[in-house]
Amino acid sequence: MTKSPEEHYNEELATIMAIPDDKHAHLNMPPEVAMQEGKRVAALSVKYKSELSETEIDPALLDSVEARAEAYAYSVAACDIYQSAGPALKEKYQEAKRKAYALRTKLLKSLEYLFRQDPNTLERIAVIRSGKGDGDLHKDMLSCHKLCKEKEEFLAATNFDMALAQQAVALWEEMAHLDSEADINPERVNEAKRICAKAWTYLHEALDEIYAAGRYRFMDEPEVEELFYRDYIQELRKRSAKNNTAEEASVTP
């Protein structure tokens, strides 16, 4: 059965993570191009496996290049998800925070009035009101909810809307969830980038060896040998040569 990129990723992750942080291979092309390069070489390793096996290449590289390519592709996709989700999640978090501040103000004003004859409860409300900034906002939502639930019988005899207390705990849960996401916690994005760099290093090892073996094996067959050069680098060289030719033509008398 064909494995999914995620299955390849999970199987290769321990090996990928074992790569030292100071041994990352340089990525000299866009990630999406590197993904395609990995898949192309994986296909070459299947098509020309018998010929490549005649060289000194480690057979394990030929057998694992597809898994390495799929694992890298999955790591790139995961990294993209974290990064692209960032702005949208930040906006959701800001909106939840605005609602929480508005609800906090409404709850405290209502509770202060309703418990104006109850010094002990007013003292608890004052403690909640003393909370400062975003750091205390989560705690304030829970504290307001807890107070309302404890005084539910008293509040039921007033015009107080107990749904506000439920809104407080719902906003607390929403902010706690968003706060754990990659855009609020940059460490998750950084870790995804770190894994991606290691996955590329793991793939790069196989690519370099297979390219070298292919160029050696097919040195007398130029049409096949050409397949064992990086497409991206060759394209850059062609563009550079074309630009140089155009520049020379423009200054020719």
Looking at the structure, do residues 143 and 65 belong to the same domain, yes or no?
Answer: no
Whether this prediction's pTM lies above 0.85 is answered by no
Higher pLDDT, 132 or 114: 114
Compute the distance between CA of residue 99 and CA of residue 94 in angstroms, rounded to an integer.
9
Give the type of residue at 67: A
Number of domains in the chain: 2
Domain boundaries, position 95: 90-179
Contacting residues for 188 by C-beta, under 8 A, at least 6 apart: 82, 181, 182
What does the alpha-carbon distance between residue 174 and residue 165 come to, in Å, rounded to a whole number?
Answer: 14
Q: Which is more confidently placed, 235 or 102?
A: 102
pLDDT at residue 239 tops 70: no
Alpha-carbon torsion, ordered 166, 172, 177, 178, to 10 deg: 120
Within-domain flag for 247: no
Distance (Å, whole) CA 237 – CA 56 = 29
Residue 157 neighbours by CB distance under 10 Å: 8
pLDDT over 70 for what percent of the chain? 85
Domain check: are 168 and 196 in the same one?
no
pLDDT, position 208: 94
Q: How far apart are CA 108 and CA 144, in angstroms?
A: 8
Residue-wise pLDDT for 200-219, tens only, equals: 999 999 999 999 999 999 99
Q: How confident is the model at residue 251 (pLDDT cuts 50, 70, 90)?
A: very low
Is residue 84 domain-shared with residue 95, that is, in the same domain? no
- Condensed to tens digits (0 to 9), the pLDDT of residues 80-111 reads 777 666 667 777 888 888 999 999 999 999 99
Do 196 and 71 fall within a single domain? yes
pLDDT given for residue 240 in this prediction: 53
The answer, yes or no, to whether residue 114 has pLDDT greater than 50, is yes
